[in-house]
Amino acid sequence: MIRLLLADDHPVVRAGLRAVLETEPGLRVVAEAATAEDAVARAAEGDIDVVLMDLRFGRGMSGAEATAAITARPDAPRVLIVTTYDTDADTLPAIEAGATGYLLKDAPPEDLAAAVRTAAEGRTTLAPTVADRLLTRMRTPGISLTRREIEVLGLVADGLSNRAIAARLHLTEGTVKSHLARIYTKLAVDSRTAAVAAATGLGLIRR
């Protein structure tokens, strides 16, 4: 029996996941969590095999942060991201945090069940769009931004100045400028506006 924890701040989503998964043989939902913090605490109790984790919970810890906290423990359950977001700004932090798989919420029920079983075995399942994006990054590394560069450019897109970005990320203004210079080079642009537009078009940041 694969024991599941559903972590999502929307009750309707949790109910839908439960309805799908509990019709599958060998799968049992043993707990739910409405916040990332609750998911971390519940996963630590030792009776969960796979956590189905959303990425955004409003205020507080994000799904990626929760994933890192969960997977850092010995004998941790596997974490399968189940979300609506598939940009690099979403997928990279989650995968780097230790997620075993990444699935989108519009996946067919049979794909969801298969992904849970695959995660329980310690193997990876990626939504096709996520897999395609990761392959594109590998094939065209020149347009790949680091996690920090994505953070900086995301704040540029939000309208923050270099000084405000530095304060938000606990960096110096010089470091922010260096990040921007590398971003401009990678994206072949020469302005903040052009960088935001190019990164948005490539799916590197959300708008």
pLDDT over 70 (residue 42): yes
- Quote the percentage of the chain above a pLDDT of 70: 95
CB contact at 8 A, 63 and 34: no
Residue 147 CB coordination number (10 Å):
12
The per-residue pLDDT for range 78-105, each reduced to its tens digit, is 999 999 887 777 787 888 899 999 999 9
Regarding whether 176 and 148 lie in a shared domain, the answer is yes
Confidence (pTM): 0.70
Q: Which of 137, 163, 187 is the last residue of a domain?
A: 137
The per-residue pLDDT for range 108-154, each reduced to its tens digit, is 999 999 999 999 999 998 988 788 777 766 666 556 788 899 999 99
Domain with 129, as residue range(s), is 2-137
- What CATH number should be reported for the domain holding residue 184? 1.10.10.10
The per-residue pLDDT for range 136-149, each reduced to its tens digit, is 666 665 567 888 99
- Quote the percentage of the chain above a pLDDT of 90: 63
